[in-house]
Amino acid sequence: MGDPEAGFIGLLEYGSNAGVTAFVAALIVSLVLYWQGFRLQRRGLISKSLMRLGLWCILLCILFPLDIFLDRTRNTVSSHIVSLFMVFGIGLVIVHGVNVVYGEMMTKMIRKRPVNQFHLDLTKFFLLLVYAFFIFKFIMQVDLGSLFTSSAIITAVAVFSMQDTINSIVSGLILQMEKPFSIGDRICVAGMEGACQGVTWRYTTLKSPDSNLLVIPNNLIIKEKIVNFSSPIPEFRLHLRVGVSFDVPPVKVKAALAEVLAKSPLVCKAPAPEVRLKEFAESKAIYELAYYAPRYDDAGRSQDEVLAQVWYQFKKDGISLPYPARDIRMRRKNTEKRTLEIVTLLRRVPLFSALPDNDLELLAMSSLTTTLPAGRKIVSQGEKGATLFIILEGEVSVSRDNAEVARLQTGDFFGEMALLTGEPRQADVAAVSETMCLEVDREGFRVILEKKPETLQTIQQMFASRRGGDGQDDDRVNNEGEGNLFQRFLKIFNMN
């Protein structure tokens, strides 16, 4: 048998060589696994955090038995190196484990919402703090009380020099507690606007409308006014103003603008849009369109679409946009003559036959004169309306269910039932030749009713005698009853 001492020394040398060899082998295996994990991560099969978590778990499984072996063979240097790698590896396992469990599984897969980076960092910081306390207290057996006492001055100096950083961290904590905005919300703070990308310990990042990244310190945000365009509802309120000539009655303008808002796909139907006459400016009447776009990001496109459609709708309805106040527009010399002609035609309408000339002139001035080319449809069967048409020049065709039932000429009128009762149009009316019509709206007629209450008797007699100038028979009046129609008229004009 050999010398026992020589055999023991040989065992130590063998252990030392084996420790180095095993450590190198562990590094090689780790690199190979890292490369394979990297390839899987690039293909999108696994996330980066999951790949790194798996790598360090495998490496720890190799280092742990290696550390036990080196400790038993009393290979102190190699054992310390391996232990250091294990301490470092366990810390990384904690970090990547939080990323996978909280950041990916709980937040993205279960709750299906964006990761709150501040909560993620806070969780990792707390777990690493507990881990560090365990290492220093129980593994390294360091007296933490004496360590903190001896470093009190250094700590005070460090805190004083890091006031802004600490303020940002505390501000970030306050933002997380109060939650004035969430990730993805469109906000405006300190004059900067963008979509919130995340909140960290020190900064809040926004993506501007120009796709620039804005990094704002949390201590600045906590001092400024915050406007959240995405809360409490995601829809964004828009207020557009449109100027219209004084010559156009408000009812006609409101109907045209309401039709634009009803047709636009970038206008929310609930809450319902509103059209208001806002003010009378120097050379125009200002109307306001108040509505909600689906999201803040749709505001620009919605405004562009609505204003473009307003222009086309105004052209279609014969509504003129105002000229600047400095422009000079020559009025026709025969304005008074035309007004007298309109008054004469209004007197032929049973509704207005008993009115004095001054009231008829007021009605003529508050109504809209429209010239329509041949073939242009004036009203459509089934549509809602609130105006009466009087033919000043030309001829129109009245059709019901695509069959012509009448032709109306200068002095005739149609649409009085829609004006008086608000019911849908009962026929299609189209211009046969170039036709000029006077369009009397409900507000203009209301003025006449207030000045001449005796007009009510004429209206009641009309309900009893005929359906109206839409070319319809009297069936509807007979079926629904004169009284019901008259009651509807009184309700519409608030005359109950």
Q: Which of 23-32, 37-46, 465-474 has the lowest mean pLDDT?
A: 465-474
How far is the C-alpha of 338 from the C-alpha of 367, rounded, in Å?
13
How far is the C-alpha of 317 from the C-alpha of 253, rounded, in Å?
9
Q: 42: which 2 tokens?
A: 């690039």
* Residues sharing a CB contact under 8 Å with residue 335, sequence separation 6 or more, in sequence order: none
Q: Which of 61-70, 153-162, 388-397, 402-411 has the lowest mean pLDDT?
A: 153-162
Least Cα distance to 209 among 86, 332, 298, 88 occurs for 298
Q: What does the pLDDT look like over 231-245, one tens digit per residue? A: 888 888 999 999 998
Task: Check whether 266 has a pLDDT greater than 70.
Answer: yes
Judged on CB neighbours under 10 Å (0-12, 13-18, 19+), 260 is buried
CATH code for residues 236-317: 3.30.70.100
Task: Check whether 202 has a pLDDT greater than 50.
Answer: yes
User: Token match 């109307």: residue?
Assistant: 287
Task: Check whether 224 has a pLDDT greater than 70.
Answer: yes
pLDDT for position 335:
61
Q: 396: which 2 tokens?
A: 């129109």
pLDDT for position 474:
47
Helix (H, G, I), strand (E, B) or coil at 472: coil
User: Token match 């459509």: residue?
Assistant: 380
* Residues sharing a CB contact under 8 Å with residue 333, sequence separation 6 or more, in sequence order: none
Q: Alpha-carbon Rg of the chain, whole angstroms?
A: 41
How far is the C-alpha of 345 from the C-alpha of 334, rounded, in Å?
17
Q: For residue 256, how far is the Cα from the chain centroid? A: 24
pLDDT band at 109, cuts 50/70/90?
A: low
95/448: higher pLDDT: 95
Which stretches within 199-327 are classed as H helix?
218-221, 250-263, 299-317
Per-state percent for the chain, helix, strand, coil, to nearest 5: 55, 20, 30
pLDDT band at 404, cuts 50/70/90?
A: very high
Judged on CB neighbours under 10 Å (0-12, 13-18, 19+), 72 is exposed
- For 119-132, give the DSSP string: HHHHHHHHHHHHHH
pLDDT band at 386, cuts 50/70/90?
A: confident
- Global pTM reads 0.49
Judged on CB neighbours under 10 Å (0-12, 13-18, 19+), 345 is buried
Q: Could you please state the CATH topology (level 3) that the domain comprising 335-492 is classified under.
A: Jelly Rolls (2.60.120)
Mean pLDDT of all residues in 199-220: 86
Residue 238's CB is within 10 A of a number of other CB atoms, namely: 19
How far is the C-alpha of 53 from the C-alpha of 94, rounded, in Å?
9
Q: For residue 397, how far is the Cα from the chain centroid? A: 46
Query: Which span out of 178-187, 369-378, 398-407 was modeled with the highest average pLDDT?
Result: 398-407
Helix (H, G, I), strand (E, B) or coil at 245: coil
Q: 257: which 2 tokens?
A: 């603008």
394/27: higher pLDDT: 394
pLDDT for position 283:
82
Please tell me whether the peptide bond between 209 and the residue prior to it is cis, using omega within 30 degrees of 0. Answer: no
Percent of residues, the chain, with pLDDT higher than 70 = 72
Least Cα distance to 19 among 55, 58, 71 occurs for 71
Task: Check whether 388 has a pLDDT greater than 60.
Answer: yes
Q: DSSP assignment, residue 35?
A: H
Asked if residue 437 lies in contact with residue 409, where contact means CB atoms within 8 angstroms, the answer is no
- The class of domain 164-228 in CATH terms is mainly beta
Mean pLDDT of all residues in 467-495: 56
Task: Check whether 415 has a pLDDT greater than 70.
Answer: yes
Judged on CB neighbours under 10 Å (0-12, 13-18, 19+), 383 is exposed
How far is the C-alpha of 216 from the C-alpha of 301, rounded, in Å?
28
The domain locations on the chain are 9-150, 164-228, 236-317, 335-492
Percent of residues, the chain, with pLDDT higher than 90 = 13
Q: For residue 38, how far is the Cα from the chain centroid? A: 40
pLDDT for position 249:
82
Asked if residue 124 lies in contact with residue 92, where contact means CB atoms within 8 angstroms, the answer is no
Mean pLDDT of all residues in 183-198: 88
User: Token match 């360091």: residue?
Assistant: 142
Which element (helix H / strand E) includes 337?
Answer: helix 335-347
pLDDT band at 306, cuts 50/70/90?
A: very high
Mean pLDDT of all residues in 391-397: 91
CA atoms 103, 104, 105, 106: torsion sign:
positive
Q: DSSP assignment, residue 169?
A: H
Asked if residue 300 lies in contact with residue 260, where contact means CB atoms within 8 angstroms, the answer is no
**Cα angle at 239 between 247 and 185, to 5 degrees?**
165
Q: What does the pLDDT look like over 251-262, one tens digit per residue? A: 889 988 998 999
Q: What does the pLDDT look like over 111-148, one tens digit per residue? A: 666 666 667 777 877 888 888 888 877 777 676 666 55
23/230: higher pLDDT: 230
pLDDT for position 238:
92
**Cα angle at 486 between 480 and 489, to 5 degrees?**
115
Task: Check whether 66 has a pLDDT greater than 80.
Answer: no
Q: What does the pLDDT look like over 270-286, one tens digit per residue? A: 888 999 999 998 888 99
Q: How many CA atoms lie within 13 A of 221 on its CB side?
A: 35
Beta bridge partners of 220: none
* Residues sharing a CB contact under 8 Å with residue 70, sequence separation 6 or more, in sequence order: 15, 19, 78, 79, 82
- Does 164-228 match 236-317 in CATH topology? no
How far is the C-alpha of 441 from the C-alpha of 155, rounded, in Å?
80
How far is the C-alpha of 169 from the C-alpha of 159, rounded, in Å?
12
Strands (E), 342-419: 368-372, 377-379, 387-393, 395-400, 403-409, 413-414
Residue 420's CB is within 10 A of a number of other CB atoms, namely: 24
